[in-house]
Chain A
């Protein structure tokens, strides 16, 4: 019945085209060409920029910019607090020609959300850098930021792989990845209760987002998240000081897996 309905329309169209003068025809053809070009262009764009970015997030002074520099150049650099993002293409070490775009975002509280907003859609993976030495003191802030990243709607939709890099392991007082994982789970457990209990936002949407992290009723666990979460220990400075190499094979392996 659909084809039957279509036929008379096609006939009418053909008759119309034959009857009309060439000007209208050429205009129609031009429009068609433009439409097709646009479609192809959109398709190609989509393919090309399909989320090739790896974001480096974390609190201030957790070591993101140094990790970034080490991964790209292998050399140690004195870094300052970042006030803007830096991005570069990182070639994975083994012979796969895969590459990812590493994006180093500032960790300062007044800037971090703004830059996350800008780059979250392009993220294929997120590296959340944690300062293992100051963790005991900063656990609430770390969890707060991690929570904000995890409940973001774009992040939940795309579910990029998440790696929690416990940095600064070269210092003796650094906490282990296991301890950090346990503490974060406990803190996030509390946070999801307090955030969902907060007064609703001005325009009606709940502040915690419609998402409730993990499963209700059970204690929060990183395995309940829709994305893959891994914990890895690393040290951007490296155990041999500034001259030596950085100590982050786990990170490199994970990046190779992602790319």
Chain B
């Protein structure tokens, strides 16, 4: 599902690959990373075409047995193609150095080269005009006659001039300079005028391109000047916008206006292309329904656009939606569709498969199984919870300890959140409640849950280490370490977290993320992983092993956060939190989530 880009780097080698979806072939080229070979893409394309044409019959007729039995003697062809590709990259003759006469310097007189502040722009304009080789032209018209003609192209808003015009002006310049040195002074005001026209400010196409319209500061200040008196005197406004400060809100509106306008501009050019595709698309659809049509990029693009917008509407992070659609496009390009399948249905199915594949983890995290293993080795199983502020770490920690107790394992909760007020008390209340639900009498006289805390303000990593050794001595099965919430940009806190994890080497590092998060999920996970990798001393750093997705009951079917998180980390979602009571702990059902995601 990550088929978006087509190159892969491993140690000293770079691999570039190309997929042939029609015959299910993969072409891979490997070369040393330090060499930048320009002919690789062309080589792959040529090899692909030749191989396909040469063995097309075998693929089509003899199927798998043909593949197994056939001899594919392609070596000579490949060597030939390689030689051709190498030669084609060498055919460009090395550029000959310009002689002094040809260079620009010879065309400037000494006076020109003296740089003074005021004259600098003039010189630049002159250099621009002298670009290109000099030529002795016979058609030299008188300078004033040509000058207005030369001005015309510059007065157009384009800054690039056609070659002919450049040549013309070069010729004039050359002859003018050699014949009349005095003319230069008359040229300079013209040059300045031309320069101003040439460097006209970029005008945007939105409505009146007036500097006044582009300046929003007036309206903002006007608005904010009006609002405060209004707030003080009008209670309804105050009630309506209880928590706002006047200046801030106006800023937000201003930003969104800009974005809306940009979107409109972007959509306008996109619309005509869609309309054009409509008519052609109708016949294409009919042809696609009946015959066996192979998918092209143009067919898939409108559908993929729609799917991408649909995914983004379902709260999948924008860059991930784009990458997903890219990879689906790559996977389907050139594939032959069966009869009675439309492009839409094929694309939707491919996208669905990709989504299910993303959500189904590579290695299923079975916590109970691993706890049993640790139990056998007489050491506690350590789980660490990390995440940003307010996602539900402590609540879900309590839910998970309840689940573990139900399965007969004793739990030690380590209160390593020494910062937030009430964190330790919260855990103490949970411990009390859990012990009330599962009193020691039911479990052979041992307390199932205990809290290990050292108050506030202490070093979290130290508390964790002590908690783990305490658990080992007392024979607890699981240690759940609760850490303080921290923003991913907060470097000292991230260092502290990385140190905690590196020093204590927990068995499972769970990242707690809420399902309400949107594009932030990408940033959070990337920065958390990066911090863990950077500050770890070991060869293979401990990264996030699993994700706990919380507040799942607050989203109806906008379940895109699950996709974003698993895509970024490739780690499974181990638990899903669906509420605030102890029983609201679920495991992920990939098919149900994908169904909710694809539902229109």
Chain A interfacial positions (CB closer than 8 Å to B): 69, 72-73, 77, 83-84, 86-88, 109-111, 113-114, 140-141, 144, 190-191, 193-195, 197-203, 205, 207
Query: B357 an interface residue at 8 Å Cβ cutoff?
Result: yes
Q: Report, nearest first, the 10 A-B pairs whose CB atoms are least far apart.
A: A194-B368, A201-B589, A88-B64, A203-B592, A109-B362, A202-B589, A199-B585, A199-B587, A194-B369, A86-B64
CB-based nearest A residue for B362 = A109
**25 A-B residue contacts at CB 8 Å?**
A73-B65, A73-B68, A83-B26, A86-B64, A88-B68, A109-B362, A110-B357, A110-B362, A114-B360, A190-B369, A191-B366, A191-B369, A197-B406, A197-B407, A198-B366, A199-B587, A200-B586, A201-B587, A201-B588, A201-B589, A202-B576, A202-B592, A205-B589, A207-B587, A207-B589
Q: How far is the CA of A119 from the CA of B538 in the complex (A)?
A: 43
Interface flag for B481 (CB, 8 Å)? no
- In the complex, what residues of B have CB within 8 A of residue A83's CB? 26
Q: Which residue of A lies closest to B64 (CB)?
A: A88
Partner of B368, one of A84, A144, A198: A198
Closest chain-A Cβ to B404's Cβ sits at a distance in Å of 10
Q: How far is the CB of A241 from chain B (nearest CB, A)?
A: 20
- Complex Cα spacing A202 to B559, Å: 12
CA distance A44 to B552 in the complex (A): 47
B508 interface hit (Cβ, 8 Å): no
In the bound assembly, the distance between CA atoms of A201 and B573 in angstroms comes to 12
CB-CB nearest in chain B for A206: B587
State in angstroms the CA–CA spacing of A194 and B586 once bound together.
14
Contacting residues, chain A, for B372 (C-beta < 8 A): 190, 194
Main secondary structure of the interface of A (DSSP, over half): helix
Cα(A205)–Cα(B69), bound, Å: 47
* Across-interface contacts of A69 in B (CB, < 8 A): 68
B63 interface residue, CB < 8 Å from A? yes
Are B366 and A144 in contact (CB-based, < 8 A)?
yes
Apart from A111-B357, A194-B366: 5 A-B pairs, beta carbons within 8 A:
A72-B65, A83-B26, A114-B356, A194-B372, A198-B587
CA distance A147 to B127 in the complex (A): 76
- When distances are taken between beta carbons in the complex, the residues of chain B under 8 Å from A77 are 68
Chain B residue at smallest Cβ distance from A112: B360
Contacting residue for A140 out of B69, B368, B369, CB 8 A: B369
Q: How far is the CB of A171 from chain B (nearest CB, A)?
A: 24
User: With A86-B64, A114-B356 as given contacts, are A144 and B592 in contact (CB-CB < 8 Å)?
Assistant: no
Of all chain A residues, which has the CB nearest B67?
A: A86
B593, CB-defined interface residue at 8 Å: yes
* B364 near A144: Cβ-Cβ < 8 Å: yes
Chain B residues touching A, range: 20 to 34
Task: Name the B residues within 8 Å of A111 (CB-CB).
Answer: 357
Nearest CB on A from B111, distance (A): 71
| Residues of B contacting A114 in the complex (Cβ-Cβ under 8 angstroms) | 353, 356-357, 360
Q: Which one of A72, A197, A201 contacts B592 once the chains associate, using CB atoms below 8 Å?
A: A201
**Within 8 Å of chain A (Cβ to Cβ): is B363?**
yes
In the complex, what distance in Å separates the CA atom of A163 from the CA atom of B406?
Answer: 37
The residue of chain A having its C-beta at the shortest distance from the C-beta of B373 within the complex is A140
Instruction: From known contacts A87-B64, A190-B372, A197-B368, infer whether A113 and B589 are also in contact, taking CB-CB under 8 Å.
Output: no
The distance in angstroms between the C-alpha atoms of A69 and B70, with both chains bound, is 12
8 A Cβ contacts from B333-376 to A: 353, 356-357, 360-364, 366, 368-369, 372
Q: In the complex, A197 Cα to B363 Cα: how many Å?
A: 19
Does B575 lie at the interface of the complex (its beta carbon under 8 Å from any beta carbon of A)?
yes
Bound-state Cα–Cα, A203 to B587, Å: 10
Whether the Cβ atoms of B360 and A113 lie closer than 8 Å is yes
Is the beta-carbon distance between B592 and A84 smaller than 8 angstroms?
no
CA A205 to CA B591, docked complex, whole Å: 12
Please, which residues of chain B bring their CB within 8 A of the CB of A73? Answer: 65, 68-69
Contacts of A109 in B (CB 8 A): 361-363
> Which residue, A83, A84, A194, has most C-beta atoms of chain B within 10 A?
A194
Instruction: List residues of chain B with CB within 8 A of the CB of A144.
Output: 364, 366
- Within 8 Å CB of A113, what residues of B? 360
Contact call B24/A84, Cβ cutoff below 8 A: yes
A199 touches B575 (CB 8 A): yes
